Structures are given as C-alpha cells and as structure tokens.
Chains A and B, each alone.
Chain A
C-alpha cells in the first residue's frame, strides 16, 4: 500500500516540490500502477527467460574509435552558466 509518506520520499529523491493536492493525486496513481504490476504477476512465467529490454536486439556495439571533438564553445552554448570554458553550477550543498 502506497502512503503519502512514500510519495514525499520519492519526490524528495527526485528533487520535486509537490503541493498537497499533487501528493494526494500521486498517492492514488502510484497505487494504481503498482496494482497493475500485481496483476501482471499473475501470469505464469515458468520457463520464460527474464528480459530487461522489450527490443528484440542484443550486442549492439561500436568499435573503439575517436571522432573529432565538438567545439567547446558550441557545447557550452547550451549551458545555463559558463565560466572560462567550464560549466558553472551553484554552490553544492553537503547534503548530497
């Protein structure tokens, strides 16, 4: 059973600030999703290999080759803040 406390915990981990209404709403939506998984659990999966990916492919790999690098200024164009070719980020809190 998902409680409001679980939602608050997950929101904190995901750095989301939720209103009281949102917390109520997500509590019931979370529960619905988990119920759905319980329903899936009823399927007999004996002799079925577990799969981690719905795409029927494996071993898609590239050779170990370096391509020309991107120009730093272009890469940094998308940075909200930049200083001397570095990405600039706000003070990091010790809380991690």
Chain B
C-alpha cells in the first residue's frame, strides 16, 4: 500500500480509550485463600473455589475492596455506597467456571479523572473482577495450528481492578503518558507492582479514527498484547495508520479485537466481535452486596500517600527542580523515595539531584537495577554530599566513592580517612607537585608562554593526575597561574 502522507493524516482525528487491568497486590486471591505469587509452579496455587468446583462458595477478600476504594479516591472517582458483583458468561478454557465474576452496573468506582500534561482525561469507571488462567498451546507457538492446549490456573482468581478511561485520549503518545501515570499512581499507592512485562499491569486500547470535525465516533478496534510502554505507543501508531489506509481506500473499519505482534510491528485480527459478545450479565448469587459507608471511605482516604502529581508539583514549586528533572524522579518511584530521604537530611537539593540523575542513574542503568536494591543509603549519600560541600573531598574522588558505596556500602567518612581521599589543600605540597610537572613538560610551558593559553587545562589535568584527584582545584588554579606568570 502507498505511504500515507502527513497531509492525509492531518485530515483525521484519533480517538483512544484505554482499559487498564491492574493486578492488586494482595497475598491471597479475590474470593479464596489460594496464594497469588507470580512465577510459581503451574497449578500449585489453586483450590476448589477458584477452580469453580461444584458446591463451593466464594468470599470476598476485604483488602481487595479497600485497595479498590483507595485507588478510586486517587483517581478522583465517586465511590459507590452500594456495590455488587455480577457474572459475565463466556466460554474459554482459561475460565474454569465458564463465567467470570466481575462488576456490571454497580462498579466500586466511577466518574473519575486524572491530568496528563495539564489535560483532563476522564475515567468512566474502575471495577473489580477475577483474573483468568494461562493457556499453553501445545504443538505450535500460538493458538493457530495447536492440536490441544494446557491450562495453568494459578492466575485464576487473582484480583484485578479494571480502570476504563473515556475515549478522550487523542494520540498514541498521550496514551503512553496516561498509562505511565496510572502505573505511577498504583505503585505509589502500593496496590499493584505495575510490571507490564510480567503482566501485573495490562492495557487494551480501543482505537478509532474520524474525519476532523465529525462528532460521532468511528468504528473502533480493540488492540491487545502490548507488554511495554513503547509497545503500547507503537501498536496504536500502527493501528491508526492501518485505519486511515482502509478509509482512504474506501473500505470500512471492522469492529474486532486485534493482537499486537511485537516482532513484526503489526496488529492482526483475533476474532470478530459482531455476535460473540453477549455476556448475559446477572447478579452473582453467591456473593452478598457491598455497603460502603462514608466513614469507611474516610478512614481509607486518611491512608492516602503523596501521589505522583503532588510530588511532581512539590519538587517544582518547593524545591525548585526543573519540570524535566521532577518528571524523571517521579517516574522512578524508588529514586523519588530515596531523593525524599536524602533531602530530609538537609543536603543541597541541586547537588543531590545532580548525583542521583548523573553517576548514580548511569550505574543503575549499567547494572539493570534500582536504587533500593543497592548498598547505597540516603545517609551515606548525604554524608558524601556534605563532604563535597565542605571541600573535604573533590568531585573526582566522590565519583569513585559513590560506586564503591553502591556496590559494597560502608561509612563514607571512614572510607575517606582510611583510604586517604581527602582534598590536599596544603599549598606547599601542591606547589611542589606543580613545579615537578612544569619541569617535566618544558615544551608545553614554552608554548603556553608564547600564546597558547588553552594549555592551562593540560597542566591542571597533570596536577590532578599526580595527586590522584585529591588536590583542591581552586588552589591548583591559583598556584598554577602564579607559577606560569611571566617573570
């Protein structure tokens, strides 16, 4: 097919709604006391209740409802006074009961919103449901071509909160940012791991296009299987392009579910939605209704931690961070918590940010880890920053110390003392070193004196090298100028 030009693209508007499934981080499942731990031996965390054996009764996990309420409050939702569960009927082997316990017309949370770069994205609802099992397709890599399937029901009954946005997201990038912010929120609340790769946070995107100015929505396709933020953005970009091409060629978009194929960078049709979706919801007779008192909601609201948006705002307006720095810190929760602890120890904010975003981030990236998993503590970083501020150690030395502490921990002050790392401010000793350097580099001295001032840096470098980075840079500069001054 011919390339779609920007001119053609500009004739259309993209409309995206996201359905995000967050696995709630409870120890036991939503309706039974089987464990929820990820990555365990298949079918080792199941029981008659989550397998839907005859005669069993589900009982709601209280923590699940509390987490749903807390998340609803963080998403600015109305919390229902009365809520209930319903059965959603469909046949698929990952669902042992042939129905999923979900919520239909009385979700725990509704009518919320969050802000993305100042734009309000409304949230239609957030409701509770149980997760399904995992299928392994034998005899093929995927469903197509397999001769039979194997089922692992460990994930069946893991609590899910499904957060449904209004179709108000207008670009693939905005969808990614919305998803990143939801991830931040559930992680800061401590209700979900937010791990897209392992699937503890999953996202389906409803994507449609319409000619600019048209009010009614175009036919949407639902795309699934995006396992990273990058994949989410790419999948929607591809899907928008595909739909524009269809419409430009006089064809119509079919309402269907499409699977994102990461390796090929395309979406493919999974199943047509035209008739199959008749879920025949009805109230779940085995679970009694939930009555959520204002007093209970109030108690839960009091446990609300500082949310990502509030933290970002505080970093910018109270601590004077740039928007860029604030964003990076907040998007990495472990780093933000660490930063908060360092700041509490009365360190210089700007220096702390520089170290965290510079050498420490580089180390974490290289070692594919997070700051909470290293040996560096807020106390040891604060101590190091204070030693720099007081001029006791140089930046060059600190760069070496921070790596040592990240790897092995330890008391920074002791380390400086034992390894003799403090700055040499003793002028006579520095002067001796300078003289030695100048004597062994007569050629450079000659050239400097005959009008090559850029060679000054060379001499500084040599002195620092000779002293192992310990010479006080200001002293070095001053003494060097004196020594090199024309007689």
Contact = CB atoms under 8 A, between A and B. Distances in A.
Interface of A: 9, 13-15, 49, 51-53, 55, 57-67, 69-70, 72, 75-76, 78, 83-92, 94-96
Q: How large is the interface on B (under 10, 10 to 19, 20 to 34, 35 or more residues)?
A: 35 or more
A18 B65 CA distance: 42
Interface in B98-123: 106
Interface string B49-69: 001010000011111110000
A59 B288 contact: yes
B59 A13 contact: no
Interface stretch (B88-96, B230-238, B363-371): B88-96
B93 A62 contact: no
Contacts of A14: 89
Interface string B132-162: 0001111000011011111111000000000
Interface centre among A49, A51, A52, A78 (most CB of B within 10 A): A52
A66 to B, nearest CB: 5
Contacts of B106: 52
B311 to A, nearest CB: 28
B285 interface: yes
Chain A binding surface SS class: loop
Contact of B46 (A64, A67, A75, A94): A75
Interface string B20-51: 00000011100001110000011111111001
Nearest to A56: B288
B283 interface: yes
A90 B148 contact: yes
A61 B61 contact: yes
Contacts, number: 130
A58 B33 contact: no
A88 B151 CA distance: 6
Contacts of B53: 78
Given A53-B84, A60-B60, A87-B93, 5 more contacts: A13-B278, A52-B106, A62-B60, A70-B46, A83-B138
Interface in B187-228: none
Contact of B288 (A13, A60, A86, A96): A60
Given A61-B65, A66-B28, A69-B44, A89 B93 contact: yes
Given A90-B148, A96-B271, A85 B43 contact: yes
Nearest to B271: A96
Nearest to B145: A91
Interface in B69-94: 82, 84, 89-93
Contacts of A70: 46-48
Contacts of A63: 61-63
B323 interface: no
Contacts of A87: 43, 93, 150-151, 153
